[in-house]
Chain A
Amino acid sequence: MGLRERLGKEWLFCDGGTGSILQGLGLKGGELPETWNLTKPDDIKALNRGYFEAGSNIVNTNTFGANRFKFDNVSEIVSAGVKICQQARKEAGRDNDAYVAIDVGPTGKLLEPMGDLSFNEAVDIFSEIIKAGYEAGGDLVLIETMSDSYEAKAAVVAAHEVCDLPVIVTTVYDESGKLLTGGSVEGTVAMLEGLKVDAIGINCGFGPKQMLPIAERLVACCSLPIVVNPNAGLPRTENGATVYDVDPEEFSQVMEEIAKLGVHVMGGCCGTTPDHISRMIGKVKLVPFTSPVKKQTTYVTSFADCVKIGRKPVIVGERINPTGKKKLQQALRDNNIDYILTEALKQEEAGAHVLDVNVGLPEINEPEMMESVILKIQSVTNLPLQIDTTNIEALERGMRIYNGKPMINSVNGKEENIKAVMPLVAKYGGVLVALPLDESGIPATSDGRIEIARRIYEAADSYGIPRKDIVIDGLAMTISSDPESAIATLDTVRRVRDEFSGHSILGVSNISFGLPARELVNSHFLTMAMQNGLSCAIINPCNGPMMASYRSYNALMNLDPNLGEFINAYKDYVAGTSASSGSAKASSASSGVVLTLAEAIERGVTGRASEAMKEALDSGRDSLEIINSELIPALDRVGKGFEAGTVFLPQLLMSADAAKAAFAVVKEAMADKPRNTKGQVILATVKGDIHDIGKNIVKVMLENYGYDVIDLGKDVPPEVIVDCAIENNIRVVGLSALMTTTVASMEETIKLLREKKPGTKVVVGGAVMTPEYADKIGADAYAKDAMATVRYCDSVFGE
């Protein structure tokens, strides 16, 4: 019988530890165990055979670390590992009921955006391993010891793209039930279920006792068969060697306890031996087996956050959507990702739970932009995202790169659309927003919408997408053109809850299009929709009245324990003023003293600086005159103080932030006019280096002093810098490196610049830099800090 037919229907058993056994056979520390597949195949066969004979149904090939970072003959090593394991199974007489698992461990590299390995490269690395194992005849893929859910996702995607073998994933949690990268048990399970693995579990990390509470949480949230493979206790060091203390008898006793919780596959990890496994099997086989139970909770997740869609409505922030937003459109055209990130952070501060991400503009490459924006947003916020696009390629690239289980906006009842969207959701997982409209348009009544919703649920069934992962859009449309529209929408929302036990969502503010005082209608409509069972509200969380409705509803419906959220938001509320500022907190205007623009910049009071600039512009003054007579002199006074040692870096930065805010006001006021700049400068942290705070400080200062900065980011290869310099005919390149080890790539960059674009001036800086060092690697100048860089650029561009 195939493994898929048996998983979750009867007790199955994995194998145990490898490392300690191989060390016993003479494996040296520092020696890669996988090399033994070629050099000592008999020892590996004995190891595999020991577990088959102990009763394991699933035995791992000796391929845990067989990736291209360690080997240049991955296929050979993996293929040998599979053949050895097959041979061992045959010799043990277990060909009929045991399986060879292609064992896949972590790469040892951290994925972008936290680390330096791209998601697609990780998929490629795993594909190479799994393909070799599949072609050699492995029976399943066992992805184990993953401490990063993102890397686990890359391995699963690889497995599904290479073959149709069953896939089991086990991850490592700490005592608090978190992955080392911050993910929770529930979030990890939601993501892996979405990716359609065959079983989910936990391995390594610690012994069976410590694993018990985590196994309990797995049983509570996981609908798939559950695997538990602990170590033989916590590791301890004896004379430099790692030892484990839990003996086979004790191990088997605790495993029996865990078996009773209702798990389905059991085995061991570090420190366990065939003896541990056979004793465990003896006891566990006597425990009655219970099949996995389907769970009904819906989660949307990021790598570290897990948002439940249920009775308490979820706020989906709508601000990252260029429709009708000129500034965002411009930011997308300028590739100004910082503007998008600022919008993301603002919405998070204001109370959003999920962020909608729509980057569709006719003149940009939407798939590419979607991928890069998702990656960037996920590097600054834990909030799960809603991928919002009608471009199927953008959708797929976004879903692939996304770390977690996203919301998808959207599918509709058109057959063609279902055929394009649902296979992607079936492959990558996600909570799918479904619009109940079809080839004949948008039904005017709830009857028509419910009918299409029913068809969409049925289509989801046929693609294997659980119904709990469908969220029906009630389709809010303005009451100014159809007076019945709010009623139809509210009916739809209520009937989704009552007739399907389903979830619903609304783009709330569409209801008031064309009306004055829209927030009045919107906020009341939101309350009515929530009262009718709305699960998710797509709104602007920075809008005070909307959040007031939301928080009041939760308080009234006992969805805000101890009224904590409500009180926290409105403790400073003054009756009679409308709650029109989103955060509901009183603005931080201090003690009545009103600072001038110059004072605000010198003191570094950002809010006041932009206010003062607005006032100055409103009074009819010329922007350039304000900049030259107030802003720049103030900035200069701080800069000179910094150079003289009377002002310290933080104060300089506060002033720089304030000046930047004031400039932003000017920029906005002159959005249509060409900008005056002193010149264009490239800044980059060189290849291999990921420290960019210093470089970012230099950027802010240069911009404040009138330079147009092309910021290439961190870990930038020499060719990218040189190509950019040539393309934009750049006169000054600023390079930063913090480590002695990365100064070498600084030198390489300078060399390439000299060769390809002679005459370009290079100014360098960073913690390890000195004037002598700068000279030695051929730079034109050393800048000890941001002000020095400004001065140098001024000297080159001749003020």
Chain B
Amino acid sequence: MPLGVDIPVKEVKRYMGYHGIAGVTPEIEAKINEAVERVSTMSHPRLLIKEFPVTVTEKTVTIHAGSEDVLLESESLCRNLSGCLRVLLLAATIGPSCDMLVRRASVTSAADASIYQACGAAAIESFLDSENDRLKREYEADGLYLRPRFSPGYGDLKLEHQKDWFRLLDISKQIGIELTDSLLMMPTKSVTAIIGIGGDVRRNGCSGCSGCNMRSTCEFSEGRS
């Protein structure tokens, strides 16, 4: 995988709290551009994917991983995966550099720290989106359709299941993300997710803001002006 990652400036601004407005001063614009450049060249994106057979009922998803069955109890995930016989489990990170850039910026400037933070968030999302699109095309070529990706902690899927992802994918060893006692990932700009593989095109299920339990209070919620 090549070093570096594309970071859409528009997304960086959204994470910084600009909701589609003008009024970004030239000083901030310059800072954003510098941060985007740095985070983008210093990041080392890594992705880990494995395909597993699943059994989906109304309330449970069972992942069949060789000799082990992993049970996920989550109605929102079940809605997302209904009808799927297989899933992709994935983990991705842009590496530890961005965390260091944020720590460095924190020493000297709160503004810089928040900009680097936003760049990192935009970077991991953008990396995942492009990998997600690539997978989508690959599967569509075989007549299969990918559901929107879903992460531990979304809806009623407990964050506790991070441990299952780490075990099933051997994430720490393969791409260097570690889980803290409080289930946070280090490097912080990392994502774990599940993607359903379905035989038909469907857009329902839990995706975007409508399925999120933070939608009423989230600053980044779509449709906020």
Q: How far is the CA of A693 from the CA of B118 in the complex (A)?
A: 11
Q: Are B182's CB and A688's CB within 8 A?
A: yes
Contacts of A145 in B (CB 8 A): 173
CB distance from A584 to the nearest CB of B (A): 19
Interface of A is mostly: loop
Q: Are B178's CB and A648's CB within 8 A?
A: no
CB distance from B152 to the nearest CB of A (A): 11
Q: Are A116's CB and B68's CB within 8 A?
A: no
Q: Are B99's CB and A30's CB within 8 A?
A: no
Query: In chain A, residues 664-704, which have Cβ atoms closer than 8 Å to a Cβ of chain B?
Result: 687-693, 696-697, 700
Per-residue A-contact encoding for B167-207, CB less than 8 Å = 1, 0 else: 11000110110111111101110000000000000000000
Query: In chain A, residues 28-48, which have Cβ atoms closer than 8 Å to a Cβ of chain B?
Result: 28-31
The answer, yes or no, to whether A426 is at the interface (CB within 8 Å) is no
Which chain A residue shows the least CB distance to B117? Answer: A693
Q: Are B104's CB and A697's CB within 8 A?
A: no
The answer, yes or no, to whether B102 is at the interface (CB within 8 Å) is yes
Q: Are A147's CB and B173's CB within 8 A?
A: yes
The answer, yes or no, to whether A162 is at the interface (CB within 8 Å) is no
CB distance from B28 to the nearest CB of A (A): 5
Contacts of A28 in B (CB 8 A): 67-68
Q: Are A181's CB and B217's CB within 8 A?
A: no
CB distance from B123 to the nearest CB of A (A): 16
CB distance from A154 to the nearest CB of B (A): 14
Q: Are A657's CB and B173's CB within 8 A?
A: no
Q: Are B217's CB and A653's CB within 8 A?
A: no
Q: Are A648's CB and B18's CB within 8 A?
A: yes
Knowing A181-B96, A380-B104, A697-B110, the reply to whether A116 touches B180 (Cβ < 8 A) is: yes
The answer, yes or no, to whether B141 is at the interface (CB within 8 Å) is no
Q: Are B103's CB and A379's CB within 8 A?
A: yes
Q: How far is the CA of A688 from the CA of B186 in the complex (A)?
A: 13
Contacts of A180 in B (CB 8 A): 175-176
Q: Are B17's CB and A648's CB within 8 A?
A: yes
Q: Are A147's CB and B176's CB within 8 A?
A: yes
State which of A176, A178, A650, A689 has its C-beta within 8 Å of the C-beta of B17. A650
Q: How far is the CA of A181 from the CA of B100 in the complex (A)?
A: 12
Contacts of B64 in A (CB 8 A): 239-240
CB distance from B208 to the nearest CB of A (A): 18
State which of A106, A380, A650, A770 has its C-beta within 8 Å of the C-beta of B28. A650
Which chain A residue shows the least CB distance to B100? Answer: A380
The answer, yes or no, to whether B223 is at the interface (CB within 8 Å) is no
Stretch of B50-58, B72-80, B132-140, B143-151 lying at the A interface: B50-58
The answer, yes or no, to whether B209 is at the interface (CB within 8 Å) is no
Q: How far is the CA of A692 from the CA of B180 in the complex (A)?
A: 16
Q: Are A603's CB and B25's CB within 8 A?
A: yes
Q: How far is the CA of A648 from the CA of B24 in the complex (A)?
A: 9
The answer, yes or no, to whether A27 is at the interface (CB within 8 Å) is yes
Q: How far is the CA of A603 from the CA of B27 in the complex (A)?
A: 8
CB distance from A372 to the nearest CB of B (A): 15
Query: In chain B, residues 91-148, which have Cβ atoms closer than 8 Å to a Cβ of chain A?
Result: 95-97, 99-100, 102-104, 106-115, 117
Q: Are B67's CB and A650's CB within 8 A?
A: no
Q: Are B109's CB and A657's CB within 8 A?
A: yes
Q: Are A700's CB and B167's CB within 8 A?
A: no
Q: Are A690's CB and B188's CB within 8 A?
A: yes
Q: Are B173's CB and A204's CB within 8 A?
A: yes
Could you say which of B44, B115, B176, B179 has the most chain A C-beta atoms within 10 Å of its C-beta?
A: B176
Q: How far is the CA of A650 from the CA of B65 in the complex (A)?
A: 46
Query: In chain A, residues 633-665, which have Cβ atoms closer than 8 Å to a Cβ of chain B?
Result: 648-651, 653-654, 656-657
Q: Are A696's CB and B28's CB within 8 A?
A: no
Q: Are B111's CB and A650's CB within 8 A?
A: yes
The answer, yes or no, to whether A710 is at the interface (CB within 8 Å) is no
Q: How far is the CA of A176 from the CA of B46 in the complex (A)?
A: 13
CB distance from B55 to the nearest CB of A (A): 12
CB distance from A80 to the nearest CB of B (A): 23
Q: How far is the CA of A527 from the CA of B176 in the complex (A)?
A: 45
Knowing A108-B178, A693-B106, the reply to whether A656 touches B111 (Cβ < 8 A) is: yes
Q: Are A342's CB and B96's CB within 8 A?
A: no
Q: How far is the CA of A26 from the CA of B68 in the complex (A)?
A: 11
Knowing A30-B167, A379-B100, A739-B182, the reply to whether A240 touches B114 (Cβ < 8 A) is: no
Which chain B residue shows the least CB distance to A341? Answer: B107
Q: Are B114's CB and A650's CB within 8 A?
A: yes
CB distance from A794 to the nearest CB of B (A): 20
State which of B96, B102, B107, B217 has its C-beta within 8 Å of the C-beta of A693. B102
Query: In chain A, residues 722-751, which have Cβ atoms closer than 8 Å to a Cβ of chain B?
Result: 739-742, 745
CB distance from B107 to the nearest CB of A (A): 4
Contacts of B167 in A (CB 8 A): 29-30
Q: How far is the CA of A651 from the CA of B99 in the complex (A)?
A: 22
Q: How far is the CA of A322 from the CA of B168 in the complex (A)?
A: 51
Q: Are B115's CB and A650's CB within 8 A?
A: yes
Q: Are B182's CB and A606's CB within 8 A?
A: no
Q: How far is the CA of A688 from the CA of B182 in the complex (A)?
A: 5
Q: Are A108's CB and B172's CB within 8 A?
A: yes
State which of A30, A147, A739 has its C-beta within 8 Å of the C-beta of B184. A739
Q: Are A182's CB and B104's CB within 8 A?
A: no
Contacts of A148 in B (CB 8 A): 176
Which chain B residue shows the least CB distance to A303? Answer: B96
Q: Are B50's CB and A240's CB within 8 A?
A: yes
The answer, yes or no, to whether A338 is at the interface (CB within 8 Å) is yes
Per-residue A-contact encoding for B208-220, CB less than 8 Å = 1, 0 else: 0000001001000
The answer, yes or no, to whether A768 is at the interface (CB within 8 Å) is yes
Q: Are A653's CB and B184's CB within 8 A?
A: no
Q: List 5 A-B contacts (CB under 8 A).
A: A182-B97, A240-B63, A338-B107, A345-B108, A648-B16
Known: A180-B176, A380-B107, A381-B104. 20 other contacts (CB 8 A): A27-B67, A106-B173, A108-B179, A114-B96, A114-B187, A115-B180, A182-B96, A338-B107, A342-B107, A380-B100, A648-B23, A653-B109, A654-B25, A654-B28, A657-B112, A690-B180, A693-B102, A696-B106, A696-B110, A700-B110
6 interchain residue pairs of minimum CB distance: A29-B68, A180-B176, A688-B182, A653-B111, A110-B178, A241-B66
